[in-house]
């Protein structure tokens, strides 16, 4: 059977750039064992990588799903620094408005909301308005001109509707027939700070 290799003399006389076309090319019908082995091994490694990515993505997805609706305690911890600064900035008026709220509730025969975070947030808002405006303007309403509202006095706590009809827009002072009334007329400064964290 004739050899598939070209004669030596032809190789010597052929230019260097042509020798590549003269030399027999290795058969591509069946790759060498090592090449075949690596070809077979590659999909497995890719599959492992895909599985890792899928697992990582799933893990992250679950993590987000779990931590996104974080419990209230976690939110407090995350926002503690910011809220602490706000509380310290109005520490004096925060205590003034806390005492006022207790005294007015007892004097008017009203009670705080069953959810005391409502009470805490309103007291915090009143204290901040007292800091910035000089008067405890109702924090539960929108005003085009807060300074003008303070001078008017209508919405300075206790507002006119509260004084005349015991109607508190903020739900700070609730009558016994209110669906959301609680049974307390006192709240500590710690409760005010803690329950209003992350909500202002």
Residue 196: phi and psi, rounded to 5, are: -95, 0
Neighbours of 118 (CB within 10 A): 21
Q: Is 140 known to be catalytic?
A: yes
**CA pair distance 58, 61, nearest whole angstrom:** 5
Residue 137 pairs with which residues in a beta bridge? 156
- DSSP for 90-158 reads THHHHHHHHHHHHHHHHHHT-B-BSSHHHHHHHHHHHHHHHHHHSS-B-TTS--S-HHHHHHH-TTBSS
Catalytic residue among 140, 157, 159, 168: 140
Residues recognised as catalytic:
140
């Amino acid at each position: 059977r004739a050899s598939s290799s070209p004669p030596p003399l032809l190789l010597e006389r052929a230019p260097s750039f042509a020798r590549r076309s003269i030399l027999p090319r290795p058969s591509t019908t069946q790759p060498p064992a090592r090449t075949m082995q690596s070809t077979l091994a590659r999909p497995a490694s890719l599959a492992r990588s895909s599985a890792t990515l899928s697992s990582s993505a799933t893990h992250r997805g679950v993590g987000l799903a779990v931590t996104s609706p974080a419990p209230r305690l976690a939110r407090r911890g995350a926002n503690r620094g910011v809220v602490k600064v706000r509380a310290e900035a109005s520490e004096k008026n925060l205590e003034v408005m806390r005492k006022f709220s207790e005294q007015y509730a007892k004097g008017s025969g009203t009670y705080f909301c069953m959810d005391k975070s409502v009470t805490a947030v309103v007291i915090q808002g009143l204290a901040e308005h007292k800091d910035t405006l000089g008067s405890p303007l109702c924090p539960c309403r929108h005003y085009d001109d807060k300074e003008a509202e303070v001078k008017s006095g209508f919405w300075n706590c206790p507002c006119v509707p509260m004084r005349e009809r015991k109607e508190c827009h903020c739900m700070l002072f609730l009558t016994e027939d209110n669906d959301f009334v609680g049974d307390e007329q006192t709240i500590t400064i710690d409760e005010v700070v803690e329950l209003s964290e992350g909500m202002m």
